[in-house]
Amino acid sequence: MSNFGFTDLRLVNPYEVAFREARSAVGAGEVIGNAMEYTTLEEAVADCSLVIGTASLGHRELHHPLRRLEYGARLIRKHLASANAALLFGSEKYGLSNDDLSLCHWLLRIPTRAEHESMNLGQAVAVCLYELIRSPQAAKRDPKASKKAAARDLELLSGRLMETLLASGYINQRTAASTVQKVRRLVRRMDLNAQDADVWLGMLRQVLWKLRH
Amino acid sequence: MSNFGFTDLRLVNPYEVAFREARSAVGAGEVIGNAMEYTTLEEAVADCSLVIGTASLGHRELHHPLRRLEYGARLIRKHLASANAALLFGSEKYGLSNDDLSLCHWLLRIPTRAEHESMNLGQAVAVCLYELIRSPQAAKRDPKASKKAAARDLELLSGRLMETLLASGYINQRTAASTVQKVRRLVRRMDLNAQDADVWLGMLRQVLWKLRH
């Protein structure tokens, strides 16, 4: 919850021993420190205008729309823009009861594979909250893409690599003509950024100098 | 891993006691049962044509492109269509070493908030693998949307609700005309599906019968 910026944890009848221990543990975060306790789910969600339960396909009698996380999170995000919502997780052993589910507007399921639907509670929470803060914009392009090397530098590098191969005897003058294009393509396939192209030019300059002296 | 259909777990120098216990535990899944052990990271990723490390913005000296999970997962998915890839997670305490990172093509980061970047290992794995199997198509529309009630049924329901309100004395014949539109709008705002509209019609029929007898 804290990783993804969610702060309002509400517990319904938590196991007292474990809860007291967690709260008093060294390094217990703000989320657990500020967690509220309730004796009924009705009270816990009383101020929420959207209540979403988590469930799996394996749940026998679902009387609610069951939405995949990818889509359901979109609806929750829209709602969160102007109001609050509760996301319910059941105990790891029993999940949410039918009584719990009857308080929900609809249900959310994480797209786990049919052969292994049931998830660890902490992991299920992490995945749901990640989807809520996930940015579709961020998925579209690489904001950190480094500047690619310009054609001029790639051509310079191809020439220097050719000289090096000649000086080292890897190719000889007679067959060099047929190799030029191969080396050019090889260099382009390296998909270098501007900085790495500079490094390669420097390395080959030194190698070439050493080969010739 | 098992939840999201990933089966190939490779461990580099796992803590032997914990690993042996996990492997022999009742209910240890296939993933842990088939996990391979290696003494160096080089061996563990030797057959992988893409090696991705996980890191956070807090990592001091990153010499790699650091991509947000939403975008990075797209690149990994593309690669996985025709080849294999390794996704590296460090120990929970120390993360990946600079030596580990130097074996990576690039790095991935989960978009946790700056004030709390470090994640629980199991949760970090769950979130990364969820993003890998996540379906952008599923995010676009509600595949489970139930059939909405037809205008005919909504008008039938509006009429029956009007009759019920009249029969119960909630409204009277003189003011009824001004209420018809309010009731119509109220019924449309219920956003009923076809089945619920039927249920409402049945409930009101019975209420009306009782009110009149």
Is A133's CB within 8 Å of B111's CB?
yes
Q: What is the pLDDT of residue A62?
A: 67
Q: What is the pLDDT of residue B94?
A: 82
Is B122's CB within 8 Å of A123's CB?
yes
Q: Chunked in runs of 10, what are the mean pLDDT values of chain A (213 residues)?
A: 94 89 79 93 94 82 84 94 94 86 92 90 96 90 77 93 92 85 90 90 93 90
Q: What is the pLDDT of residue B179?
A: 87
Q: Which residue has the higher pLDDT, A138 or B47?
A: B47
pLDDT tens digits, B118-164: 899 999 999 999 999 999 888 887 766 678 899 999 999 999 999 99
Whether residue B111 lies within 8 A of chain A, CB to CB, comes out as yes
Q: What is the pLDDT of residue A145?
A: 65
Whether residue B67 lies within 8 A of chain A, CB to CB, comes out as yes
Q: Which CATH number fits domain B10-140: 3.40.640.10, 3.40.1280.10, 3.90.550.10, 1.10.287.470?
A: 3.40.1280.10
Tokens coding A53: 């339960």
Nearest CA in chain A to B140: A71
Look up the ipTM and state it: 0.80
Cut 0.90: pTM above it:
no
* Class in CATH terms, B151-212: mainly alpha
Report the gap between the CA of B66 and the closest CA in chain A (Å): 7
Which residues on chain B are in Cβ contact (under 8 Å) with A112?
A: 3-4
Per the prediction, chain B carries an average pLDDT of 89
Q: Domain spans of chain B? A: 10-140, 151-212
Residues 6 or more apart from B37 whose CB is under 8 A from it? B10, B11, B12, B14, B19
pLDDT tens digits, A65-109: 889 999 999 999 999 999 999 999 998 778 898 889 989 999 999
